[in-house]
Structure 1
Amino acid sequence: MEHTGTAASSTPGPARARNRRGEGGRLRDDIIAAAVELLDEAGDERAITLRSVARKVGIAAPSIYPHFSDQPAIMLAVVRQEFTGLENKLRSILGETDDDPRQRLYAVCNTYLEFARLHPERYRTMFGGLWVPDLGDSSLTEQDLATLGMETMQILVDTLGDCVAGGYSTSTDPSADAVALWLGLHGLAHQRAVTRAFPWPEDIEDRIITTLAHLDTHTADA
């Protein structure tokens, strides 16, 4: 199924060299990369159609079908790739942060917000945007959508749990409070993207994290 709306450039991309035997996976990766480029360029998921992606890659549209059955399947691959990239960034920053659980939680939250700031169109698409596929009219299933972002959420749950275990958070339900914390971060990321002139308090991130993570401000300085 192809979304209609913002038209992508009609100029075809350069013809793509035929894959050698065993390189079919490279074309799949190229299709996903082209979709991401179109998203970044147009700022609108509707610019991503089978035809626009094919033009970007330099192939005929039917060449996409062995890899993706429809446009929602391409979008799902894009969203999965971006969640994996976000997860890798969060795990990387944890590897660079000291053992203080609070500093690790702040690092995770601030890295999350930075990802949203640097990639606003990708971030919006990851969390809905205009991409809400009709499951009855695509190859996707509810399971495909239900698992998106779960690894990223688990990092937040585990990091908050470490704060509780270390006596730095008074949360009695880290899983539920991690969801509340994510909602706070997500709301801030969204509002920053759409309300550019608002005079945000300089410490708004710390206020959100400290409050929603139930960090105990009476413990040793963070």
Structure 2
Amino acid sequence: MTAEAQRKVTRRRPARRGEGDRLRDEIVLAACALLNESGDPGTLSLRAVARKTGVATTSIYLHFEDLTSLVRAVKSRWLDMLADEVEAAASEAGDDPRKRVRAIAHAYVDAAMREPARYRVLFTAELTPPAPGVPYLGVQAYNSVLARVRQAVPEAEADMITLQFWCGLHGLVTLRQARPKFPWPDLEGQVDDLVTRLIDSATHG
């Protein structure tokens, strides 16, 4: 077979409109599945993602600059899912600001305990700082929670209470996942207690 004939045989068919976006989604979903199994971005490789997607590794570079950008896309997808779950819980909690904050706390903890590998990838695995001018992932979701907390505590306390709120929930989740045999109190009661103490500290001094 001549070189020209070989080029005709191996030449990739140009993607139809919309196929490129679909392949990108398939690549991200494949990476999601692999990270759900390992919980460690350090074990992920573009070759493994390509194999699971059923494409050549070079095809991934048409959509992602490198492995870091692919992992960022996975985290972005998962953070959006977490934000949607948290916001839905807040909306269903009614008009009482304290109940909304409590609902956010329970939704966050429930999601983290239900998907421990996903949570590790999001918050305990090594975090690569974004490029200059690129915001940290999750900023919009954090600001959404901040807006809810502002409705429940004095304005001057809202920033610190929101930060302590997140730190407290993260500590609760990671310690329970790391030490499952510790004699922990009831999870729901512990979350309620954390929220009550934080809000009371802001409203009563």
Bucket of the pairwise TM-score, normalised by the shorter protein? 0.7 to 0.9
Q: 1:18 to 1:85 in 2, by over 3 A?
A: farther
Q: How does 1:19-58 map to 2 (within 5 A)?
A: 19-58=15-54
Q: What residue in structure 1 maps to residue 59 of structure 2?
A: 63
Contact 1:184 / 1:212 at 8 angstroms: preserved in 2?
A: no
Alignment correspondent of 1:9: none
Match for residue 110 of structure 2 among 114, 119, 138: 114
Cα deviation per residue 1:135-161 (whole Å; 9 max; x = unaligned)?
A: 6xxxx51444x4211122122211211
| CA offset digits 1:18-61 (Å, max 9, x no partner) | 85333211111111100110011223222321100000000000
Q: Per-residue deviation at 1:217?
A: 9.3
Aligned to 1:158: 147
Q: Secondary structure at the match of 1:123?
A: helix
Letter in 2 for 1:192: R
Secondary structure at the counterpart of residue 68 of structure 1: coil
CA contact under 8 A between 1:19 and 1:27: conserved in structure 2? no
Count matched residues.
Answer: 190
Give yes or no for contact 1:171–1:214 (8 Å, CA) kept in 2: no
Q: Normalising by structure 1, report the TM-score.
A: 0.78
How far does residue 213 in structure 1 lie from its aligned partner after superposition?
2.7
Q: CA deviation at 1:175?
A: 1.2
Mapping for residues 75-94 of structure 1, pairs under 5 Å: 75-94=71-90
- TM-score, length of structure 2 as denominator length: 0.84
1:125 aligns with 2:139: no
**Distance in 1 between the 2:202 and 2:99 partners?**
13
What's the % identity of the aligned pairs?
A: 35
Classify the secondary structure of the residue corresponding to 1:148. coil
**Structure with greater helix percent:** 2
Coordinate RMSD, CA, aligned: 2.3
Q: Separation in 2 of the partners of 1:106 and 1:113?
A: 11
Alignment partner of 2:195 out of 196, 209, 213: 209
User: For the structure 1 residues 142 and 194, does the alpha-carbon distance in structure 2 shift closer, same or farther, using more than 3 Å as the test?
Assistant: farther
Letter in 2 for 1:141: A
Q: Which runs of 5+ in 1 are unaligned?
A: 1-16, 165-169
Residue 88 of structure 1 and its aligned partner are, at CA, apart by 0.8
Q: CA deviation at 1:132?
A: 3.3
Whole-angstrom distance in 2 between the partners of 1:90 and 1:96 = 10
1:141 to 2:131 alignment: yes
2: distance between equivalents of 1:93 and 1:19? Answer: 40
